[in-house]
Amino acid sequence: MKINPLIFRCYDIRGIVDKDLNVKNVEAIGKAYGTFLNRRKIRQAVAGRDCRLSGQKFKSAFIRGLISTGVNVIDLGMVMTQMVYYGQYRFQVNGGAMITASHNPFNYNGFKLAVGFSKTTEIEEVQEIRKYVEMENFYQPKNIGKITKANIKEDYFNDVLKRIKLNKKFKVVVDFRHGTPAMYVPELLRRAGCEVISKRDNIDGSFPAGTPDPTDEDFIKELAQVVIKEKADFGLGFDGDGDRIGAVDETGRILWNDVLVAIFAKEILERFPGSKIIYNTLCSRVVPEVVKQNNGIPIIWRTGHSFIKSKIAEENAAFGGELSGHFYFNDNAYGYDDGSYAALRILEYLSDKNTTLSKLYQTFSQYHYVSSPEIKIGCPDEKKIEIIKNLSQKFKADFPNARMTDDTVIPGDDGTRADFSDGMIIFRYSQNGPYITVKFEAKDQMVYDQRKKYVREMLKSYPEMIWEDELCVNLDHLNKT
């Protein structure tokens, strides 16, 4: 079967609906995943979807392909991604598929595919699935699989809530931008004892208010305004499938997710000193500095939920986190990314300390950086790897005294990061779409502005970059002088 090979990315499958993905090739992907599972003697899987407009027809096609290989499927319906991961534990099945494109625009869709408990596909496994699709080499069983349906909301809620105890009532604003988590999160927070102000919670897979991406400053600024107006204790923004969050404190200050990584790390290290903490290459220097200060072992690793989960398992780390808002708790949870559980963990820490998020943030004052958010600039899939390789050579030459992290340090890494005594710069290409990601920071504004100018001019030197694109995020932070 002819299919765009670029949709088979480094850990997920993602493409544009009706261009890269249609009912016919989605069914073939289901067959390929079923073949992949059968080769591993896995004959059961759970499956779910988010609220995207193509979600229902793609889930039906995918499951049709999956059962044709003899795999029995438990259909979870419309759920958050973490509920698929939880469903694997609930039903004790190694297979799992979530039909979602996460933070990509409404016209995208895709697949997160499990290869065991708290583990999802990586490069070799995604390419194995691609090979089966292209060759139409599918497992032929004696009997097709069966489909059963299950509603796991209560089981999931009970599992999360038994791990959380709030000693005070919080007033929480949650903005969903019409994404899937609106179906579950308000009730979960209320059951935990919160007063919840729910915004844009009518589910609409066309995302009329814009893509629910919690790394998008425009989205989180809108949330901050409501937090201030409602005099709330905390603000949360969710992505479209629920496994990522963005946060605002009670003053309306946006806390980028690498700061939350540091906060979570500090809380865990108070209880488990000496633990390993995994963080991705996009995170601020605040993360390793806080980890070291609190007697932990910081380990920088490759960006991407599959890579971080694997590294947590390999290192037996207590926690991992990414700038994108994926948080992985391995102290009393399953080690997979769950935005709703992460939100409750923040509140539990505030409850235990009897403090506010702004006061907690102030305890990090010695680690404060002038720091950009994650900035995304469009770049064709077929050009982005070449551009980053070429750019990295210039980058290393321009900063010979910086500590460089690239694929010679982290095998297979997708960019180059320079660490200085007073901050960092990173250029990398995305695994999830046709764009390049950058971040930069410094201890003072003047150096920050110099680094911003350097990053902007470096990217402007490549005519292939697309500066007006639906995938661009936070460009104001790069263009402001």
pLDDT in tens, 247-303: 999 999 999 999 999 999 999 999 999 999 999 999 999 999 999 999 999 999 999
Distance, CA of 174 to CA of 230 (rounded, Å) = 12
Round to whole Å and give the CA distance between 115 and 11.
11
Contact criterion met (CB below 8 Å) for 268 and 318: yes
Give the up-direction half-sphere exposure of residue 318: CA atoms within 13 A in the CB hemisphere. 20
Which amino acid makes up residue 300? Answer: I
Pairing between strand 423-429 and 435-442? antiparallel
Q: Same domain, yes or no, for 411 and 342? A: no
CA torsion angle 284 287 292 296 (round to 10): -150
Residue 242 scores a pLDDT above 90: yes
Rg of the chain over Cα atoms, rounded to whole angstroms, equals: 21
Note the Cα 317 to chain centre separation in Å. Answer: 18
The tokens for 48 are: 């779910």
Number of domains in the chain: 4
Q: For residue range 15-70, list pLDDT tens digits in order.
A: 999 999 999 999 999 999 999 999 999 999 999 999 999 999 999 999 999 999 99
Instruction: Using the 3D structure, point to which of 224, 252, 280 is the last residue of a domain.
Output: 252
Same domain for 203 and 228, yes or no, is yes
Over residues 143-159, the mean pLDDT reads 98
Helix (H) or strand (E) run with residue 420 in it = strand 415-420
| Same domain, residue pair 347 and 409 | no
Task: State the residue range of the domain holding 459.
Answer: 370-479
Q: Which residues contact 394 (CB under 8 A, 6 or more apart)?
A: 458
Same domain? For 465 and 406 the reply is yes
Backbone angles phi, psi at 440, to 5 degrees: -150, 155
**Which pTM was predicted?**
0.96
Last residue of a domain, one of 151, 179, 212: 151
What is the CB neighbour count within 10 angstroms for residue 165?
12
- Main-chain phi, psi angles of 95, to 5 degrees: -90, 145
Buried/exposed code over 238-265 (b: 16+ C-beta within 10 A; e: otherwise): bbbbbbbbbbbbbebebbbbbbbbbbbb
The predicted model gives 153-181 an average pLDDT of: 98
Express as a percent the part of the chain with pLDDT over 90. 96
Structure tokens at 430: 């995305």
pLDDT category at 413 given cuts 50, 70, 90 is confident
Indicate whether 335 and 406 sit together in one domain: no
Q: What is the mean pLDDT of residues 212-226?
A: 96
Give the integer Cα–Cα distance in Å for 213 and 239.
Answer: 5
User: Beta-carbon neighbour count of residue 59 at 10 Å?
Assistant: 24
Q: What is the CATH number of the domain that holds 443?
A: 3.30.310.50
- 324 with 261, same domain: the answer is yes
Residue 434 pLDDT: 94
Residue 481 pLDDT grade (very low, low, confident, very high; cuts 50, 70, 90): low
Burial 198-227 (b: 16+ CB within 10 A, else e): bbbbeebbebebbbbbbbbbebbebbbebb
- Regarding whether 167 and 290 lie in a shared domain, the answer is no
Q: How far is CA 59 from CA 29, 52, 135, in A?
A: 11, 11, 22
* 18 shares its domain with 142: yes
Q: Which of 332, 367, 402 is the last residue of a domain?
A: 367
Rounded Cα distance between 137 and 133, Å, is: 7
Handedness of CA 59, 14, 20, 31 (dihedral sign): negative
Q: Of 12, 255, 237, 239, nearest to 127 (Cα)?
A: 12
Q: In the predicted model, what is the mean pLDDT of residues 304-326?
A: 97
**pLDDT of 202 above 90:** yes
Helices and strands (H, E) in the chain, number of each type:
15, 21
- Residues 109 and 168 both lie in one domain: no
Based on the domain organization, do 411 and 444 belong to the same domain?
Answer: yes
Which positions are catalytic? 102
Question: Pick the residue with more confidence: 198 or 363?
Answer: 198
What are phi and psi for residue 120, nearest 5 degrees?
Answer: -125, 165
CA distances from 324 to 132, 355, 366, 406, 444 (A): 31, 25, 24, 19, 24
> How high is the mean pLDDT of the chain?
96
Q: Are residues 193 and 290 in the same domain?
A: no
CATH for 54: 3.40.120.10
pLDDT band at 420 (very low <50, low <70, confident <90, very high): very high
Could you give the C-alpha distances from 399 to 142, 214, 327, 389, in angstroms and in order?
A: 61, 32, 32, 16
Per-residue confidence band for 90, with pLDDT thresholds at 50, 70 and 90 = very high
Residues 296 and 236 in one domain: no
